[in-house]
Amino acid sequence: MWHVVRKVADAPAAAAAALWLLALAPFAWTCLSGMEVALASSLLVAMIALLLSQPAAGPPSWRLAAVLAAASLSRPEAMALVVGVVVVAAVARLRTRSYPAAAAWLAPLAAPAAWLLANKLWAGNALPNTGVAKSHFYQPGFDLTYWWDMLLTTSARMAHGLFVDEKSPFSWPGLVLVAWAVGAYRILRWARREQRYLVGLVIALAPAAMAMAVVASSGMWSFQNYRYITPAFALLAVSVGAALAAPGWLLRWRRGRLVWSLALALGAGLYARAAWPRLVADARLFAQGAMDTNTQVVAIGQHLRAHLPTARVMLHDAGAIAYYGEGHVHDMLGLVTNRQAGVANHGPGSRLEFLEELAPAARPTHFAYYPSWLGAPEFFGDVLLETPLGPALEPRRLVGGGNMQLLTARWELAGKGEQPLAPHPGWRVVDRVDVASLASERAHAWRGELGRRKLGDPTARWSLVGRHQAGPGPLMLDGGRTIRGGRERFTLRLADADDYSGIVGQNMPDLEEVAGRGYTRHDRAALTFQ
């Protein structure tokens, strides 16, 4: 930060910008807590530093090309920023017919392209599993009207939370907003004077672009103490530093620089004093998180390694349990288990159907869960370990519940809801649509009017678990949907042509008679219902 701000402002402003960044409690917290924030922030600031020394023409230096490639892999928002930088630079070279230089600028995109292709080949989707689990675009009920409403609502919340709310991560949030505006103006004036438009636009606009990329993709701008937008704070610090440079009119006075430096030192001291309570609170949050992690997921992982080394564990918080347990895990949220996030997005009914479809040998032997999270507690057996949390050091906590349990898995109720309730002699099941099973729905072209997504909808809005007790018989479970629009469409397959004619002749009314009951199309292979 010191190196970058000195180039666009002066040394006292560079020192103040560095101090401002270090005094941001969420920045310190996310960097120290093992997240990717420190890596992404360092690469993005290095990118700006190298852009400042990059000639206006020609290819990028090898250092800049390497940093661009690495930054694109550090965070999805950083990838979007890198793509914008290299495309603008390449287009500028193409306009002067510098084709080798344009190709050299585009070369860093090989890294994210290879990463996206690898995700597609191994995970089934171009975005990583975390994107599928959290991105708006992969959620049921998504459409552009929802996305636009969400974008406006969440952007307003983020702007208020960062620059107005007293709980803002910034001390003096209103002044930070003013400093950003003033600094961006100064940076753009400097870029025009120096003919360095690309780096000027990056410094001035990248903080907003990265924060908006988070809002547009997931809306989780305040998730885990601002984790996803914290790399933008490092870029914002450059503009803040530019705003703190001594004004030209003051420098015309012989002692103007000294006076400005003393004023900056006083302001920095007051800012550090104002920031101290937030730093203390986030230090306590760090300690709280470490204690809760040790109490729950670390304890479960260690128990598995010591007592159940061959267990197959289904969980929703994979990191520490997998690391300390060193055994087989299946992440029900889909962060580390491929092709699972879509099931999780569709809620408890789809999770139930997925579990029932697993081959018996592939089913988990144990669950590591908060009891209310699965949606089908009938699959829970004996509780082997409980992990109740201790007293809180800090009002904020990052865990999903107060007591994660290690439980045995029981499967005697699996599949009980798949057959007719009563026997029908002479009948046989030719085909069935298993509603809420994503695989069965795809195989039968099932579409239901489930309703438009709303901001903050729980997964239980999209599927549910139904329970039925038929007399003295066993409890039956089945996944289902709430079809809010009152309409659904699916296609049933028939065994073969002979069976088709027999079914229509013996067990079904004439197709013309039932045309008004929902049949919309029929042929010798299938019936489609609307």
Give the SS3 label for residue 424: coil
Give the SS3 label for residue 10: coil
Q: How confident is the model at residue 510 (pLDDT cuts 50, 70, 90)?
A: very low
Least confident among 66-75, 106-115, 468-477: 468-477
Bridge partners for 478 per DSSP: 466
- Alpha helices by DSSP H, listed for 164-229, are 173-194, 197-217, 223-226
Give the SS3 label for residue 493: strand
Mean pLDDT computed over 215-236 = 93
How far is residue 219's CA from residue 291's CA, in Å, rounded to a whole number? 28
Q: What pLDDT is recorded for position 526? A: 67
- Alpha helices by DSSP H, listed for 294-363, are 299-307, 318-325, 341-345, 348-357
| 231: its two tokens | 């790399």
Mean pLDDT computed over 211-221 = 93
Q: How buried is 197 (Cβ within 10 angstroms: 0-12 exposed, 13-18 middle, 19+ buried)? A: middle
Mean pLDDT computed over 337-341 = 89
Residues belonging to the chain: 530
Answer for the pair 349, 438: CB distance below 8 angstroms, yes or no.
Answer: no
Q: At residue 321, what are phi and psi to the nearest 5 degrees?
A: -65, -45
Q: How confident is the model at residue 67 (pLDDT cuts 50, 70, 90)?
A: very high
Answer for the pair 56, 192: CB distance below 8 angstroms, yes or no.
Answer: no
Q: What pLDDT is recorded for position 130? A: 86
Q: What pLDDT is recorded for position 514? A: 42
Answer for the pair 265, 11: CB distance below 8 angstroms, yes or no.
Answer: no
Mean pLDDT computed over 10-32 = 93
Mean pLDDT computed over 425-448 = 90
Q: How confident is the model at residue 503 (pLDDT cuts 50, 70, 90)?
A: very low
How far is residue 348's CA from residue 344's CA, in Å, rounded to a whole number? 8
Q: What pLDDT is recorded for position 524? A: 53
How far is residue 208's CA from residue 408's CA, in Å, rounded to a whole number? 48
The one-letter code for the residue type at 164 is V
- pLDDT at 513 exceeding the cut of 60: no
Q: How buried is 161 (Cβ within 10 angstroms: 0-12 exposed, 13-18 middle, 19+ buried)? A: middle
Q: What pLDDT is recorded for position 99? A: 94
Report residue 422 CA to chain centroid gap: 45
